[in-house]
Structure 1
Amino acid sequence: MIQYHVSFANPLTFYLQVQMQLAVPANEVAPLELQLPAWRPGRYEIQNFGQKIQRVEAFDAATSEPLPLRKLTKDRWQVADAAGRTVRVQYNFYAHQMDAGGSWLDETQLYLNGIQCFMYAEGRRTEECQLMLTLPEGWQIACGMKQVGPNVLAAASFDVLVDSPLIASPTLQHAEYEAGGLPFHVWVQGNEAKPDWDVIVRDFKAFSEEQLRLFGSFPATDYHFLNEILPYKHYHGVEHLNSTVITLGPAEQLMTEELYKEFLGVSCHELFHVWNIKSIRPAEMMPYDYTRENYFRTCFVAEGITTYYGEYLLARANVRTARQYFDELNTVLRKHYDDHGRNNLSVADASMDLWLDGYRPGIPDRKVSVYHKGALVALLLDLHIRRLHNHQRSLDDVMRRLWQEFGQTGIGYTEEDYQHIVTEVVGEDMRWYFEQHIYGTAELETPLDEALRFVGCCLMLQLNGSAAEGRFGFRTVQKNDRTEVTDIYPNSPASRGLTVDDQIVAVNGRRASGNLQSLLSSNQARYELTVFRQDRLTTVVLEPTTERLFWPRITVAKLPEATAAQQASFSQWLNQAF
């Protein structure tokens, strides 16, 4: 067994003291090498957690004799003369990152994601681990790992250890419910939050049961929602083996419509991940390689399908209304159509590029979102299957097959496996779907509109009301009294004269200061814009289009003339009356 110990002396410094202790066999020839992960599952980018480690030392645990320690890479160390000894490695870890993938220490709590701070011994990741926490009197622990003693947690392996975050605090709030005969725990950290537990338990139980009905069984024996409800605005969630961490705020607004819908959406999304990515895992991640990029092309399955189901199942479980579901779906549509990278990069290639810049805006119009386009192609596939089989088959059948053939067996799936299952469930050649919408950049509007009509809905196009956006094709942000260009629509009038970061000073001789829209709405044939570009004053002439062609608003709406058959189909899809 490999033992870990975490303590802290002064929480105001944010430093944790971490110890790792393991016995090295006397006949061990190779030197002991210790590796700190460079990334974490759930966020597919190199994060270099070694930046948070201070003062690494190694000792013989029996004698406290220092052992030679050499740093091999940015996150790998070698301990010499370790054979036949019980080795203790100790270091400090800086816990000052409050998001769902981070770690945090202060006088009120310890929130720890072990993936950031625990090393593993090369070749020994599958050994049992034990984590002991030194905590103040009265602190409680919320974690997916089992407590085997006071402040002692047990994990079957290093992978389980670092995929089981914890919150320790004297102010944890807790509720429990049962779904499918299994216990589900909802933990809330933060005194500012005032959860309405009756409402939360009712809604969480409903969407949990809906997911269990979909898959038929659960990958774990229990589940823990670990919620950091913060006093400031925040939104983030990360999936784990039998838990999730969600950071959300502001706390006093938790039960308001605006924040509670986010709470429900991210919670339903993260629970779906227990099947889809934690159990139904790409072959490229079997097992994880924590030292480098784990490239995979199927994040449109892992995140795209999960994004679709995360909101859709809330409506299907009658936790949210159809109108509320459409509001969230319309947000996905807006984000997808706001980004012209959809014309330049396929969603499969965008899966690979998560490791490049997938979580940052990046250069203009380069990439597409695996979350947003992934959700839309999942919707398209679900409705296509339902139309062909009159709701007797659906995307549910694809996910069940993935769960049964790969999740339950512990075998990683490939792109070809996913395509094969989709084709078998659909019962026809699906090359058009994969070539055009997964590996290609074909427009989605026409096939999605056709699919939606099967359930009595359609895509609606509304012209952009903004003169700058709709007629000229540029967006701005107001920074105090400065009007700065932030985005330009490809092949628009603005693209022939303006550039990102231009500061618009005047329009036709009139100063631009919060009044840009009115200055551009005087129905003139040409407009003279005075701009600062790289601190040089220049003049640009723009000629608007006659119509508001750019950044139209695309939304899903019910057909006012929907037939009785379409209305019945809507009810079968969404489990709600039309």
Structure 2
Amino acid sequence: MKFYISPSPSHPYFLDFKISFVCTTDDTLVKLPLWRPGRYQVQTFAKNIRNIGAESNGKAFEVRNVSRNTWSVLGSQEGDEIILHYEYYARHQDAGGTWVSNDFWLINGISCGMLPEGLDQEEIDVIIDFPLNFEVATAAVKKADSYHFSNFEEWTETPFMAGSKMHHQSFVMEDSMFHIWLHGNIQPDWTQIVTDFKKFTRKQLDIFGGFPHSEFHYLCLIPSFRHYHGVEHPTSTVITLGPAVDFNDTTFYENLLGISSHELFHVWNIKGIRPKELKPYPLFEEVYFDTGYVAEGVTTYFGDEILYRSGAYSKEQYKNELNKLLTRHFENQGRYALSVADSSLELWTDGYEKGIPARKTSIYVKGAVAALILDSMIKTKFDDQKSLDDVMKLMWERFGENSLGYTSEDYKTISEEVFEASLDEYFNNVIFGTDLLEDKVQEALHHLGWETEVNFPKEALAKYYGLKVDTKGIIVDTAARKTSQDLVEGDKIISINDIVGSVDSYQKMASQNDVLKVIYERDSQIFAKELYKKKELYFAKINVT
């Protein structure tokens, strides 16, 4: 099977695709992936396709859509040599999309490459007509004028970044070459970048006992607009981080290190240590798994922790990252409603959006908090002679190296093997339950050497009445543990205690008064409600000091 990709002569944002293959069935089907690994929700890639058609030896075939991501080549017969052609609108501006401009291309085969029926294990050659002034960055193997892949999954897991503003450096660690590609209007400080990348790479290799591939490519696109996204692959990662004008700022560099460390850890944890339900990736249908707290939560925890442990982050930098994590966890009212395991199962529903009030938690955030707790438990019991490192190394040896899928029960079994005792209470309450974690988090942080304090919002309406209000007086969040929801998200405060004032004045009244008479607007109607200050304080969160 061969793919030919070239720029459209009629539109700067379209790519022309031609796929040549031999039919394995009559009226053969061609499919576009429904989702991409790393983003567990339906992706409507098909909306980017137009003018699809097919031919064989000069004979044209009608190509008819039969489902949201499947087409049939009508009249084709088994054994026919078909050329399928279509145009693809390449403006999906994130690390997982296919995206072209006048000075760079990003091609992710997962988003734009169709698979003919029965050819998922067929070898693939891809010929790409890049602009002549572009430098190409990819982990793909090039043979003559084409890039060669052993099967469709390898093609979808090997992105290309090419452009006219490419910056490149590399380093060797053990027997592997690590390439850092940056594209954008920037001036990299390569000495600092390579030094820090070596630091966190060394620690990750130490955890797992080496690197499983001969090379790895960081494909970092630095656009002119604000962006933050990364997608993992076995031998590369695509990172989009902007804006380029901030490239030399400290916060930008911290983000570059943070996302790069996170994505490198994914080489082992999800690309190798993969949930059973994702072996192999069922790219053309939804698939549900409850171990997102391992795949993303453990990775989120280690991504920053390794930067600190390796010296790439200072103590102050890591403390700031911990506080960001804790703020995101404790401000999420959905943690009272749905466990992190169940939230993993519901990724396909609304896992990447805020959703309705207080519905779910985050596999990234609560998963990382859960990993921190388990790491502390292991280190405390064994006086730092064991840690979560040992759990992940065993997961790699038992599942990653052997290409076996794991389950939550497998992760629990290995964790208990390292802990040398039952972890029923931890898994029942932290992973599969919705228990409050305040005490566990404080205990874990203290065991890890951090001092903590409990803080409440400075805004009195939030602290005393459980109402977060924006600058226009609109309720944007409510404390989920209140016995009744007096005002709700979207309500707009008109006055408090018969005074129409600014939000600052309302906050002052909330601080000074035990009873508030609130006039508010809801669905274009005006309502009145008396709110009473109670002993309970709302929106508590733990801070590392």
Task: Give TM-score, length-normalised by structure 2.
Answer: 0.96
* Corresponding position of 2:60: 66
Structure 2 counterparts to residues 87-102 of structure 1, below 5 A: 87-102=82-97
Distance 2:333 2:376 in 1: 25
Partner of 2:29: 33
Residues 68, 81 of structure 1: 8 Å contact kept: no
Conserved in 1, the CA contact under 8 Å of 2:510 and 2:516? no
Q: Give 1:11 deviation, angstroms.
A: 7.9
Q: Is the 8 A contact 1:228 1:246 kept in 2?
A: yes
Task: State the 1:48 CA deviation.
Answer: 2.4
The answer for the alignment partner of 1:298 in structure 2 is: 291
Contact in 1 for aligned 2:175/2:214 (Cα 8 Å): no
Matches within 5 A, 1:475-554: 475-478=468-471, 482-492=472-482, 496-521=485-510, 523-545=512-534, 549-554=537-542
Matched residue, 1:393: 386
Q: Distance in 2 between matches of 1:216 and 1:420?
A: 21
Look up the SS of the partner of 1:326 in the other structure: helix
Instruction: Name the SS for the 2:354 alignment partner.
Output: coil
Letter in 2 for 1:428: A
2: CA distance between counterparts of 1:389 and 1:11?
Answer: 66
Aligned to 2:18: 19
Tell me the secondary structure at the aligned position of residue 265 of structure 1: helix
**Residue 8 in structure 1 maps to residue 7 in structure 2:** yes
Counterpart contact for 1:383–1:394, Cα < 8 Å: yes
Question: How far has the Cα of 1:256 moved from its partner?
Answer: 1.2
Task: Tell me how many residue pairs correspond in the alignment.
Answer: 544
Q: Which position in structure 1 is the counterpart of 2:127?
A: 132
CA contact (8 A) 2:461 2:511 kept: no
Identity between Structure 1 and Structure 2 (%) = 36
Give unmatched runs, 5+ long, in structure 2: none
Shift of 1:68: 4.1
> Does residue 105 of the first structure (1) align with residue 100 of the second (2)?
yes
CA shift for structure 1 position 78: 2.2
Deviations 1:337-367 (A, max 9, x none): 1112111111111110111110011111110
**What is the distance in 2 between the residues matched to 1:75 and 1:98?**
21
Q: Distance in 2 between matches of 1:448 and 1:238?
A: 29
Match of 1:179 among 173, 182, 197: 173
SS of 2:257 mapped into structure 1:
helix
Read off the aligned partner of 1:103 and give its amino acid letter: T
Letter in 2 for 1:320: Y
State how far apart, in whole Å, the 1-side matches of 2:6 and 2:72 are. 24
Distance 2:507 2:380 in 1: 47
Contact 1:11 1:107 (C-alpha < 8 Å) held by counterparts: no
Q: Name 1:203's counterpart in structure 2.
A: 196
Stretch of structure 1 that moved more, 202-211 or 413-422? 413-422
* CA shift for structure 1 position 546: 5.3
Matches within 5 A, 1:445-456: 445-456=438-449
**Aligned-pair CA distance for 1:233:** 1.5
- 1: CA distance between counterparts of 2:258 and 2:119? 38
Task: Write out per-residue CA displacement over residues 43-101 of structure 1, whole angstroms, 9 at most, x where no aligned residue.
Answer: 000112111111211111xx232134333212112223333332110001111111111
Structure 1 pair 29–357 and aligned structure 2 pair: CA distance change class (3 A): closer
Structure 1 segment 170-319 matched on structure 2, within 5 A: 170-191=164-185, 193-319=186-312
Pair 323,258 (structure 1): closer, same or farther in 2 beyond 3 Å: same
Alpha-carbon distance in 2 for matches of 1:313, 1:86: 52
Closer/same/farther in 2, CA of residues 169 and 82 from structure 1, 3 Å limit: farther
- Is the 1:180–1:209 Cα contact (8 Å) retained in structure 2? no
1:362 is paired with a residue whose SS is: coil
Cα distance in 2, alignment partners of residues 520 and 242 from structure 1: 58
What is the identity, as a one-letter code, of the residue corresponding to 2:469? Answer: T
Map Cα deviations across residues 295-336 of structure 1 (whole Å, 9 max, x no partner).
111110000000000000000100111221121111111111
Gap change, CA 1:520 and 1:155, over 3 Å in 2: farther
Are 1:84 and 2:93 an aligned pair?
A: no
Asked if the contact 1:341/1:365 (under 8 Å) is kept, the reply is yes
Match of 1:572 in 2: none
Instruction: Tell me the CA shift for residue 404 of structure 1.
Output: 1.1
Q: Is the 8 A contact 1:504 1:512 kept in 2?
A: no
User: Residues of 1 paired with 2:458 and 2:97: CA distance?
Assistant: 41
Residues 306-345 of structure 1 aligned to structure 2 (within 5 Å): 306-345=299-338
1:435 aligns with 2:425: no
Give the deviation of 1:35 after TM superposition: 1.1
Superposed structure 1 runs of 4+ greater than 6 Å apart: none
1:212/1:472 CA distance change after superposition, 3 Å: same
Mapped contact 1:194–1:252 kept (Cα < 8 A): no
Change (3 A) 1:392 1:105: same
TM-score, normalised with respect to structure 1? 0.91
Distance 1:101 1:11, change over 3 A: farther
Question: In 2, distance between residues paired with 1:56 and 1:257?
Answer: 47
Rounded Cα–Cα distance in structure 2 between residues aligned with 1:552 and 1:390:
31
Distance of 1:170 and 1:315 partners within structure 2: 35
- Please tell me the root mean square deviation across aligned C-alpha atoms, in Å: 1.8
Deviation, 1:12, is: 5.0
Q: SS of 1:457's equivalent?
A: coil
Whole-Å Cα distance in 1 between the matches of residues 340 and 503 of structure 2? Answer: 37
Q: Closer, same or farther in 2 for the Cα pair 1:189/1:456, shift >3 Å?
A: closer
> Which secondary structure state, in structure 1, belongs to the residue aligned with residue 60 of structure 2?
coil
| SS class of match (2:43) | coil
Tell me the CA shift for residue 270 of structure 1: 0.5
Q: Which runs of 5+ in 1 are unaligned?
A: 558-578
CA distance in structure 1 between the partners assigned to 2:539 and 2:158 by the alignment: 43
Q: Is the 1:37–1:48 Cα contact (8 Å) retained in structure 2?
A: no
Change (3 A) 1:102 1:516: farther
Deviation at 1:497, TM superposition (A): 2.8
- For the 8 Å contact 2:5–2:128, the answer to whether it is kept is yes
CA contact (8 A) 1:11 1:106 kept: no
Paired with 1:311 and 1:12, the residues of 2 have a C-alpha distance of 42
Structure 1 Cα separation of the partners of residues 437 and 504 of structure 2 = 36
Worse overlay, 117-126 or 503-512: 503-512
Once the two structures are superposed, residues 266-312 of structure 1 have per-residue CA deviations (whole angstroms, 9 ceiling, x without a partner) of: 11000100110011111111111112111111110000000000000
For the residues of structure 1 that align with 2:446 and 2:481, how far apart are their CA atoms? 32
CA distance in 1, matches of 2:541, 2:478: 16
What is the letter of the counterpart of residue 484 of structure 1?
I
Q: Counterpart amino acid of 1:556?
A: V
1:418-429 equivalences under 5 Å are: 418-429=411-422
Q: Which residue of 1 aligns with 2:408?
A: 415
Amino acid of the residue matched to residue 45 of structure 1?
Q
On the 8 A contact 1:504/1:529 being kept in 2, the answer is yes
